[in-house]
Amino acid sequence: MTQSITLAETAAFLQAAEDILILTHANPDGDTLGSGFALLRGLRSMAKRVRLFCPDEIPPKFSFMADGIKYANYKPKTIVAVDLADARLLGDAQGDFPVIHLCIDHHAASRPYAEKTYNVPEAAATAELIFALFKELNAPITPTIADCLYTGISTDTGCFRYSNTTAQTLRVAAKLLEYGARAAELNRRYFETKRKAYFSLERMALEQLRVLERGRYAVTALTRAMYDECGASEDEAERIAAIPRQVEGVLVGATLKELKSGGFKASLRSYAPADASAIAKRLGGGGHSRAAGCNIETTSLEEAEAILLEAVREELAGLDGRQ
Protein backbone atom coordinates (compact mmCIF):
# COMPACT_ATOMS: atom_id res chain seq x y z
CA MET A 1 0.00 0.00 0.00
CA THR A 2 1.33 3.42 -0.91
CA GLN A 3 2.05 6.10 1.66
CA SER A 4 0.70 9.54 0.80
CA ILE A 5 3.26 12.21 1.61
CA THR A 6 3.40 16.00 1.64
CA LEU A 7 5.46 18.39 -0.44
CA ALA A 8 7.93 18.84 2.41
CA GLU A 9 8.25 15.07 2.85
CA THR A 10 8.76 14.66 -0.90
CA ALA A 11 11.57 17.22 -0.82
CA ALA A 12 13.18 15.53 2.17
CA PHE A 13 12.99 12.16 0.43
CA LEU A 14 14.72 13.51 -2.68
CA GLN A 15 17.35 15.34 -0.65
CA ALA A 16 18.35 12.00 0.89
CA ALA A 17 18.04 9.99 -2.33
CA GLU A 18 21.02 8.71 -4.29
CA ASP A 19 21.53 7.37 -7.82
CA ILE A 20 18.08 8.32 -9.05
CA LEU A 21 16.16 7.05 -12.08
CA ILE A 22 13.18 9.13 -13.25
CA LEU A 23 10.40 7.32 -15.13
CA THR A 24 8.00 8.93 -17.59
CA HIS A 25 4.98 7.25 -19.14
CA ALA A 26 4.72 5.64 -22.56
CA ASN A 27 3.34 7.76 -25.41
CA PRO A 28 5.02 10.69 -23.65
CA ASP A 29 3.38 14.10 -23.54
CA GLY A 30 4.68 17.52 -22.56
CA ASP A 31 3.85 17.15 -18.88
CA THR A 32 5.58 13.85 -18.19
CA LEU A 33 8.68 14.91 -20.16
CA GLY A 34 8.71 18.50 -18.92
CA SER A 35 8.35 17.36 -15.32
CA GLY A 36 10.93 14.60 -15.72
CA PHE A 37 13.65 16.64 -17.39
CA ALA A 38 13.10 19.61 -15.08
CA LEU A 39 13.42 17.36 -12.04
CA LEU A 40 16.51 15.70 -13.51
CA ARG A 41 18.23 19.03 -14.06
CA GLY A 42 17.23 20.30 -10.63
CA LEU A 43 18.51 17.24 -8.81
CA ARG A 44 21.74 17.34 -10.79
CA SER A 45 22.25 20.91 -9.57
CA MET A 46 22.30 19.31 -6.10
CA ALA A 47 25.22 17.10 -7.19
CA LYS A 48 23.09 13.96 -7.56
CA ARG A 49 23.44 11.29 -10.21
CA VAL A 50 20.18 11.19 -12.17
CA ARG A 51 18.99 9.47 -15.34
CA LEU A 52 15.64 9.57 -17.13
CA PHE A 53 13.88 6.64 -18.79
CA CYS A 54 11.08 7.04 -21.32
CA PRO A 55 9.49 3.80 -22.63
CA ASP A 56 8.94 5.32 -26.08
CA GLU A 57 10.80 7.62 -28.43
CA ILE A 58 10.65 11.27 -27.43
CA PRO A 59 8.67 13.33 -29.99
CA PRO A 60 10.89 15.78 -31.89
CA LYS A 61 9.03 18.85 -30.58
CA PHE A 62 10.11 17.89 -27.03
CA SER A 63 13.63 16.66 -27.80
CA PHE A 64 15.25 19.99 -26.83
CA MET A 65 14.68 19.11 -23.18
CA ALA A 66 17.39 16.45 -23.37
CA ASP A 67 19.97 18.71 -25.03
CA GLY A 68 23.36 18.47 -23.36
CA ILE A 69 22.35 15.67 -20.98
CA LYS A 70 24.74 12.74 -20.67
CA TYR A 71 24.00 9.68 -18.58
CA ALA A 72 26.40 7.93 -16.23
CA ASN A 73 26.22 4.15 -15.97
CA TYR A 74 25.07 3.12 -12.50
CA LYS A 75 22.50 0.87 -10.86
CA PRO A 76 19.65 3.07 -9.61
CA LYS A 77 18.97 3.10 -5.89
CA THR A 78 15.92 5.38 -6.07
CA ILE A 79 13.21 5.20 -8.74
CA VAL A 80 10.86 8.16 -9.14
CA ALA A 81 7.86 8.26 -11.50
CA VAL A 82 6.43 11.58 -12.72
CA ASP A 83 2.95 12.10 -14.19
CA LEU A 84 2.47 8.33 -14.13
CA ALA A 85 -1.05 7.62 -12.88
CA ASP A 86 -0.76 3.86 -13.28
CA ALA A 87 2.27 1.59 -13.54
CA ARG A 88 0.64 0.03 -16.59
CA LEU A 89 1.37 3.29 -18.42
CA LEU A 90 4.99 2.15 -18.60
CA GLY A 91 3.80 -0.17 -21.35
CA ASP A 92 6.12 -3.06 -22.12
CA ALA A 93 8.63 -1.71 -19.59
CA GLN A 94 6.32 -2.18 -16.58
CA GLY A 95 7.92 -5.47 -15.57
CA ASP A 96 11.36 -3.84 -15.52
CA PHE A 97 10.47 -1.83 -12.40
CA PRO A 98 8.86 -4.06 -9.76
CA VAL A 99 9.59 -1.42 -7.09
CA ILE A 100 9.01 2.31 -7.61
CA HIS A 101 9.93 4.35 -4.56
CA LEU A 102 8.14 7.65 -5.27
CA CYS A 103 5.36 8.86 -7.55
CA ILE A 104 4.72 12.57 -8.19
CA ASP A 105 1.41 13.02 -9.96
CA HIS A 106 -1.75 15.10 -10.36
CA HIS A 107 -4.31 12.56 -11.64
CA ALA A 108 -7.41 12.09 -9.49
CA ALA A 109 -8.06 8.66 -11.01
CA SER A 110 -4.57 7.31 -10.30
CA ARG A 111 -3.94 3.72 -9.19
CA PRO A 112 -1.44 3.66 -6.28
CA TYR A 113 1.67 1.61 -7.07
CA ALA A 114 4.68 3.42 -5.55
CA GLU A 115 5.93 3.10 -2.00
CA LYS A 116 5.36 6.85 -1.52
CA THR A 117 3.01 9.13 -3.48
CA TYR A 118 2.76 12.89 -3.68
CA ASN A 119 -0.45 13.57 -5.59
CA VAL A 120 -2.33 16.86 -5.88
CA PRO A 121 -5.35 16.40 -8.21
CA GLU A 122 -6.16 20.13 -8.01
CA ALA A 123 -2.95 20.92 -9.91
CA ALA A 124 -3.40 21.46 -13.64
CA ALA A 125 -0.18 19.58 -14.40
CA THR A 126 2.50 17.59 -12.63
CA ALA A 127 4.86 20.38 -13.70
CA GLU A 128 3.05 22.67 -11.23
CA LEU A 129 4.07 20.31 -8.45
CA ILE A 130 7.66 20.13 -9.68
CA PHE A 131 7.78 23.94 -9.62
CA ALA A 132 6.65 23.90 -5.97
CA LEU A 133 9.18 21.17 -5.26
CA PHE A 134 12.01 23.33 -6.63
CA LYS A 135 11.03 26.02 -4.13
CA GLU A 136 10.99 23.49 -1.30
CA LEU A 137 14.40 22.15 -2.33
CA ASN A 138 15.79 25.67 -2.85
CA ALA A 139 17.00 24.49 -6.25
CA PRO A 140 17.72 27.04 -9.00
CA ILE A 141 15.31 27.37 -11.92
CA THR A 142 17.36 28.01 -15.04
CA PRO A 143 15.81 29.19 -18.34
CA THR A 144 16.01 25.60 -19.64
CA ILE A 145 14.20 24.26 -16.57
CA ALA A 146 11.63 27.04 -16.94
CA ASP A 147 11.07 25.90 -20.54
CA CYS A 148 10.53 22.32 -19.38
CA LEU A 149 8.03 23.30 -16.70
CA TYR A 150 6.22 25.74 -18.97
CA THR A 151 5.91 22.94 -21.52
CA GLY A 152 4.26 20.67 -18.96
CA ILE A 153 1.77 23.28 -17.83
CA SER A 154 0.90 24.74 -21.23
CA THR A 155 0.38 21.40 -22.95
CA ASP A 156 -1.76 19.95 -20.15
CA THR A 157 -4.00 23.04 -20.15
CA GLY A 158 -4.31 23.46 -23.92
CA CYS A 159 -2.36 26.71 -23.70
CA PHE A 160 -4.45 27.73 -20.66
CA ARG A 161 -7.80 27.16 -22.40
CA TYR A 162 -9.00 24.05 -20.53
CA SER A 163 -11.12 24.06 -17.39
CA ASN A 164 -8.24 22.68 -15.29
CA THR A 165 -6.49 26.08 -15.57
CA THR A 166 -6.58 27.81 -12.18
CA ALA A 167 -5.34 31.09 -10.81
CA GLN A 168 -2.39 29.19 -9.35
CA THR A 169 -1.64 27.73 -12.79
CA LEU A 170 -1.39 31.22 -14.25
CA ARG A 171 0.74 32.47 -11.33
CA VAL A 172 3.22 29.63 -11.85
CA ALA A 173 3.32 30.26 -15.61
CA ALA A 174 4.01 33.96 -14.98
CA LYS A 175 6.87 33.06 -12.64
CA LEU A 176 8.32 30.73 -15.27
CA LEU A 177 8.36 33.60 -17.76
CA GLU A 178 10.31 35.61 -15.19
CA TYR A 179 12.79 32.71 -14.99
CA GLY A 180 13.27 32.86 -18.76
CA ALA A 181 10.70 30.47 -20.26
CA ARG A 182 10.33 31.15 -23.99
CA ALA A 183 6.53 31.22 -23.92
CA ALA A 184 5.92 32.70 -27.36
CA GLU A 185 8.33 30.32 -29.09
CA LEU A 186 7.03 27.26 -27.23
CA ASN A 187 3.39 28.20 -27.82
CA ARG A 188 4.08 28.51 -31.53
CA ARG A 189 5.84 25.13 -31.56
CA TYR A 190 3.10 23.27 -29.68
CA PHE A 191 -0.09 24.97 -30.78
CA GLU A 192 0.44 26.84 -34.05
CA THR A 193 2.92 24.81 -36.12
CA LYS A 194 1.65 21.83 -38.12
CA ARG A 195 3.21 19.76 -40.88
CA LYS A 196 1.41 19.39 -44.19
CA ALA A 197 0.96 15.70 -43.39
CA TYR A 198 -1.07 16.66 -40.32
CA PHE A 199 -3.61 18.57 -42.41
CA SER A 200 -4.14 15.47 -44.54
CA LEU A 201 -4.67 13.39 -41.40
CA GLU A 202 -7.08 15.96 -39.97
CA ARG A 203 -9.06 15.95 -43.22
CA MET A 204 -9.39 12.16 -43.01
CA ALA A 205 -10.44 12.40 -39.36
CA LEU A 206 -13.13 14.94 -40.21
CA GLU A 207 -14.41 12.67 -42.98
CA GLN A 208 -14.71 9.88 -40.40
CA LEU A 209 -16.42 12.07 -37.78
CA ARG A 210 -19.87 10.94 -36.64
CA VAL A 211 -22.23 12.60 -34.17
CA LEU A 212 -24.39 10.22 -32.13
CA GLU A 213 -26.55 10.02 -29.02
CA ARG A 214 -28.83 12.95 -29.84
CA GLY A 215 -25.87 15.16 -30.69
CA ARG A 216 -24.09 14.65 -27.36
CA TYR A 217 -21.34 12.28 -28.55
CA ALA A 218 -18.92 12.71 -31.45
CA VAL A 219 -16.33 10.13 -32.48
CA THR A 220 -13.71 9.73 -35.17
CA ALA A 221 -11.02 7.16 -35.90
CA LEU A 222 -7.44 7.05 -37.13
CA THR A 223 -6.19 3.81 -38.65
CA ARG A 224 -2.70 2.65 -39.54
CA ALA A 225 -3.67 2.93 -43.20
CA MET A 226 -4.51 6.61 -42.71
CA TYR A 227 -1.12 7.28 -41.09
CA ASP A 228 0.63 5.51 -43.95
CA GLU A 229 -1.34 7.33 -46.65
CA CYS A 230 -0.58 10.84 -45.41
CA GLY A 231 2.78 10.26 -43.70
CA ALA A 232 1.67 11.70 -40.36
CA SER A 233 3.02 10.49 -37.02
CA GLU A 234 1.16 9.25 -33.95
CA ASP A 235 2.47 12.26 -32.07
CA GLU A 236 0.74 14.57 -34.52
CA ALA A 237 -2.48 12.62 -34.03
CA GLU A 238 -2.69 13.89 -30.45
CA ARG A 239 -3.91 17.24 -31.80
CA ILE A 240 -6.95 15.56 -33.31
CA ALA A 241 -8.22 14.34 -29.93
CA ALA A 242 -9.74 17.76 -29.23
CA ILE A 243 -11.69 17.99 -32.50
CA PRO A 244 -14.77 15.82 -31.79
CA ARG A 245 -15.58 17.80 -28.64
CA GLN A 246 -15.60 21.03 -30.65
CA VAL A 247 -18.88 20.11 -32.37
CA GLU A 248 -21.69 22.29 -31.00
CA GLY A 249 -23.79 20.45 -28.43
CA VAL A 250 -21.32 17.61 -27.91
CA LEU A 251 -20.58 16.62 -24.30
CA VAL A 252 -18.21 13.72 -25.06
CA GLY A 253 -15.70 13.62 -27.91
CA ALA A 254 -13.62 10.55 -28.70
CA THR A 255 -10.82 9.65 -31.08
CA LEU A 256 -9.95 5.99 -31.64
CA LYS A 257 -6.35 5.51 -32.75
CA GLU A 258 -5.17 2.16 -34.07
CA LEU A 259 -1.94 1.11 -32.35
CA LYS A 260 1.10 -0.46 -33.98
CA SER A 261 1.03 -3.18 -31.35
CA GLY A 262 -2.62 -3.96 -32.05
CA GLY A 263 -5.85 -2.71 -30.58
CA PHE A 264 -6.96 0.89 -30.24
CA LYS A 265 -6.30 3.81 -27.92
CA ALA A 266 -9.37 5.90 -27.12
CA SER A 267 -8.69 9.55 -26.33
CA LEU A 268 -11.68 11.11 -24.58
CA ARG A 269 -12.52 14.78 -24.05
CA SER A 270 -15.66 16.04 -22.32
CA TYR A 271 -17.56 19.08 -21.12
CA ALA A 272 -19.34 19.22 -17.78
CA PRO A 273 -21.32 17.44 -16.53
CA ALA A 274 -19.95 14.46 -18.52
CA ASP A 275 -16.89 12.83 -16.96
CA ALA A 276 -14.27 11.53 -19.40
CA SER A 277 -12.34 9.72 -16.67
CA ALA A 278 -15.46 7.79 -15.62
CA ILE A 279 -15.90 6.55 -19.19
CA ALA A 280 -12.23 5.58 -19.46
CA LYS A 281 -12.32 3.85 -16.07
CA ARG A 282 -15.14 1.57 -17.25
CA LEU A 283 -12.72 0.31 -19.90
CA GLY A 284 -9.67 -0.03 -17.66
CA GLY A 285 -8.21 3.41 -18.28
CA GLY A 286 -8.25 6.72 -16.45
CA GLY A 287 -7.24 10.35 -16.49
CA HIS A 288 -8.98 13.62 -15.70
CA SER A 289 -12.64 14.55 -15.69
CA ARG A 290 -12.26 16.49 -18.95
CA ALA A 291 -9.48 14.46 -20.61
CA ALA A 292 -8.89 10.75 -20.25
CA GLY A 293 -7.92 7.66 -22.20
CA CYS A 294 -7.99 3.88 -22.34
CA ASN A 295 -6.93 1.01 -24.56
CA ILE A 296 -9.42 -1.30 -26.25
CA GLU A 297 -8.02 -4.72 -27.07
CA THR A 298 -9.55 -5.64 -30.41
CA THR A 299 -8.33 -5.63 -33.98
CA SER A 300 -11.75 -4.59 -35.29
CA LEU A 301 -12.48 -0.88 -35.51
CA GLU A 302 -16.21 -1.58 -35.56
CA GLU A 303 -15.95 -3.58 -32.35
CA ALA A 304 -13.82 -0.88 -30.71
CA GLU A 305 -16.41 1.73 -31.64
CA ALA A 306 -19.20 -0.42 -30.21
CA ILE A 307 -17.36 -1.05 -26.94
CA LEU A 308 -16.62 2.65 -26.52
CA LEU A 309 -20.17 3.66 -27.43
CA GLU A 310 -21.57 1.41 -24.70
CA ALA A 311 -19.34 3.05 -22.08
CA VAL A 312 -20.32 6.51 -23.31
CA ARG A 313 -24.02 5.57 -23.20
CA GLU A 314 -23.65 4.54 -19.55
CA GLU A 315 -22.21 7.94 -18.71
CA LEU A 316 -24.86 9.84 -20.65
CA ALA A 317 -27.65 7.71 -19.12
CA GLY A 318 -26.32 8.61 -15.70
CA LEU A 319 -26.57 12.28 -16.61
CA ASP A 320 -30.16 11.77 -17.74
CA GLY A 321 -30.96 10.09 -14.44
CA ARG A 322 -29.66 13.08 -12.49
CA GLN A 323 -31.68 15.64 -14.42
The CATH number covering residue 97 comes to 3.90.1640.10
Q: What is the pTM of this model?
A: 0.88
Question: Which residue from 136, 128, 158 is spatially nearest to 38, judged by alpha carbons?
Answer: 128
For residue range 59-85, list pLDDT tens digits in order: 999 999 999 999 999 999 999 999 999
Query: What's the domain range around 315?
Result: 196-322
Q: How far apart are CA 250 and CA 125, in angstroms?
A: 25
Q: How far apart are CA 107 and CA 7, in angstroms?
A: 16
User: Do residues 54 and 167 share a domain?
Assistant: yes
Instruction: From 133, 164, 191, give the residue that closes a domain.
Output: 191
Residue 322 has a pLDDT of 56
User: Do residues 74 and 175 share a domain?
Assistant: yes
User: Do residues 82 and 165 share a domain?
Assistant: yes
Residue 321 has a pLDDT of 62
Where helices occur in 19-142 by DSSP H, the ranges are: 30-44, 126-137
User: Do residues 135 and 227 share a domain?
Assistant: no
Residues 6 or more apart whose CB falls under 8 angstroms from that of 53 comprise: 21, 22, 23, 24, 93
User: Do residues 178 and 254 share a domain?
Assistant: no
For residue range 141-150, list pLDDT tens digits in order: 999 999 999 9
Say if residue 275's pLDDT is above 60: yes
Q: Calculate the CA dihedral of residues 299, 302, 305, 311 and round it to 10 degrees.
A: -90
Question: Which residue from 208, 268, 262 is spatially nearest to 242, judged by alpha carbons?
Answer: 268
Mean pLDDT across 8-25: 98
End-to-end, the C-alpha distance of the chain in Å comes to 38
User: Do residues 95 and 242 share a domain?
Assistant: no
Instruction: For the chain, give the longest Cα–Cα distance.
Output: 59
For residue range 105-147, list pLDDT tens digits in order: 999 877 899 999 999 999 999 999 999 999 999 999 999 999 9
User: Do residues 163 and 208 share a domain?
Assistant: no
Report how many domains make up the chain.
2
Q: How far apart are CA 155 and CA 62, in angstroms?
A: 11
| pLDDT, mean over the chain | 94
The CATH number covering residue 206 comes to 3.10.310.30
Say if residue 237's pLDDT is above 90: no
